[in-house]
Amino acid sequence: MKKYIVFLLSFYSTLIFSQKIESYKLTKQEISERELKDVTDFPIYKAFELSDKGGVYELVLAENQKTISKKDTLNTKIQAICVVNDHGGFLEKWRINDLLEDTDPKETNIWFWTKYCSTKDIDGDGYIEPVIVYGTRNEDRYIRRVKIITVYKNKKYVIRAVECDFDNCRSFEKDQSWNTLPQKIKTHINQLTEKMRKEQDVLLKNG
């Protein structure tokens, strides 16, 4: 009997502490049904449901779509917001806000680079570490800024890059706290940076 009780306790402990790690993109209908539009003031570009040891939560990527045309949609502001559905309301875990900068040439668009964003457990600790990537273009349609933001234990670790034809106006900076990240995550982001360099013809480097 004691062995049976121990087995049950072990079984239920496993159920509690081994939450399945999942991530999937929500449909427009699911976004509407979950009333995620209440999370942001902007139109929702994409939204995801994430599930890990910490529970189930939603990640919303929103762009304000300031100018919409047949050729392009231009944004002046973006938001990435992570929320938990809490008794019919939303409890915010973290958010990212950014907007166009006053530069020369002038920045005209800011957008989420979802091709390089990810929502997975990078270091195998049972928790998803979202990686949010976005960029800006100037009026000459060249990429000007790139940001790579890794969220680890609800804290943001940011890489900021400015692209430029001249060495003195080009930069690539990591947060001072960057080196406190687990090695697996740092390796993953370094590989992502190299991939972006090759695929997008960006330098992502200092000077």
pLDDT score of 57 more than 60: yes
Name the band, by pLDDT with cuts 50, 70 and 90, for residue 1. low
pLDDT at res. 18: 53
Between the ranges 48-52, 86-90, 162-166, where is the mean pLDDT highest? 48-52
As a whole-number percent, the residues of the chain with pLDDT over 70 amount to 91
pLDDT, tens digit (0-9, with 9 covering 90-100), for 142-189: 999 999 999 999 999 999 999 998 899 999 999 999 999 999 999 999
Q: How far apart are CA 129 and CA 30, in angstroms?
A: 23
* DSSP code per residue over the chain: -HHHHHHHHHHHHHHHH-PPPEEEEPPHHHHHHTTGGGG-SS-EEEEEEEEETTEEEEEEEEE---EE-SS-EE-SEEEEEEEEEETTEEEEEEEEEEE----SSPEEEEEE-TTT-EEE-SSSSSS-EEEEEEEEEETTS-EEEEEEEEEETTEEEEEEEE--SSGGG-EEEE-GGGGGS-HHHHHHHHHHHHHHHHHH----S--
pLDDT score of 8 more than 50: no
What is this structure's pTM?
0.90
Structure tokens at 57: 């939560």
As a whole-number percent, the residues of the chain with pLDDT over 90 amount to 80
pLDDT at res. 199: 97
pLDDT at res. 11: 41
pLDDT, tens digit (0-9, with 9 covering 90-100), for 59-70: 999 999 998 887
pLDDT at res. 5: 44
Contacts of 75 (CB under 8 A, 6+ apart): 63, 64, 65, 66, 109, 110, 111
pLDDT at res. 71: 78
Average pLDDT, the chain: 91
